[in-house]
Amino acid sequence: MKVFFLSVLFLSLYISLSAQERQYSTTNKEAIKYFSLAGQSFDDHMYDDAVAQLLKAIDEDPKFIEAHLQLGDIYRREWKYKEAADQYRQVIKVNPDFDQFVYFKAGDCEIHQAQYSDAKQHLDKYLTFANLSNQSIFLAQKLLNDCKFSLDALQHPVPFKHENIGPEIKTGDDEYFPAIPADENTLIFTRKIRNNEDYYKSIKINVKCKT
C-alpha cells in the first residue's frame, strides 16, 4: 500500500510539473491566465465566453500566437471566415513557422471571402511542407484548383443575363450544383442549410417550379 501511495504521489507531481513547464509564445501571466480560462470555456462549449477570454489574452499580449490560433479556430467553426482569417494571418505574421496547418485554414477562410489571390498564396505555401497526408494534399489541391478557376473566371468574364428562378428554388440559403435531366422538366440541386447539405428536386408544373 505504501508503494502504491508513493507511486500515485509521484505521478501527481509529474503531471503538475509538466503543466507548469508548458511553454507558450508569451511569458505574460495574465495572458496565460485568460488563455487557460478560454480553454475551460471551450471544453464546456461556452464559445462566446471563450472568445471573450481569448480577446483579453490578446489584449495583454498582442503577439500571443496560441491565443490568435485558438480564436481563429472558434471563429472558423462558427463560419465567421473574415474574423478567422484575420487571426490566422496574425499567427503567420508573428511566426511563419509556428503551425503549418494554419496556412490551409487561412486559405480555406479566404476562399469563402472570394480572396482568391491570398488563398492561393497560403495554399501554395501549405503544399510545400513535407510529411503531409494524402488526404491533406488532396483537399489543399482541390481548394487550390478552385482558386485558379475563380481567378481565371474573374480575368475572363463571360457575359450572361442573371434571372431569379423563383422562391421555390432560390432561397436565402446556398444552392448549387444544378443538374437538368433529358426531360428538361426536372431540376436537381444541392442546398446547404446550417452547413448541412441535402439534395433537392424541383419539377416544372405549368411553367412554374415546385420543390
Query: What integer pLDDT is reported at residue 54 of this predicted model?
Result: 98
Report the C-alpha gap between 71 and 65 in whole angstroms: 10
What is the residue-averaged pLDDT of the chain? 86
Instruction: Sheet with 208-210: list strands edge to edge.
Output: 174-179, 186-193, 196-205, 208-210
Does the pLDDT value for residue 127 go beyond 90?
yes
Note the pTM of the prediction, 2 decimals: 0.71
At 128-186, the pLDDT tens digits run 999 999 999 999 999 999 999 999 999 988 887 877 777 777 788 888 878 888 877 88
User: Regarding predicted confidence, which is higher, 176 or 118?
Assistant: 118
- CB-CB neighbours of 70 under 10 Å: 21
Residues with Cβ within 8 Å of residue 77, at least 6 apart in sequence: 47
How far, CA to CA in Å, does 42 sit from each of 85, 101, 115? 20, 20, 29
Query: What integer pLDDT is reported at residue 181 of this predicted model?
Result: 82
3-state percent helix, strand, coil for the chain, nearest multiple of 5: 55, 15, 30
Report the C-alpha gap between 115 and 130 in whole angstroms: 26
Residues with Cβ within 8 Å of residue 116, at least 6 apart in sequence: 110, 147, 150, 151, 154
In which element (H, E) is residue 35 found? helix 29-43
- Coil/strand/helix, residue 155: helix
Average pLDDT of span 20-32: 86
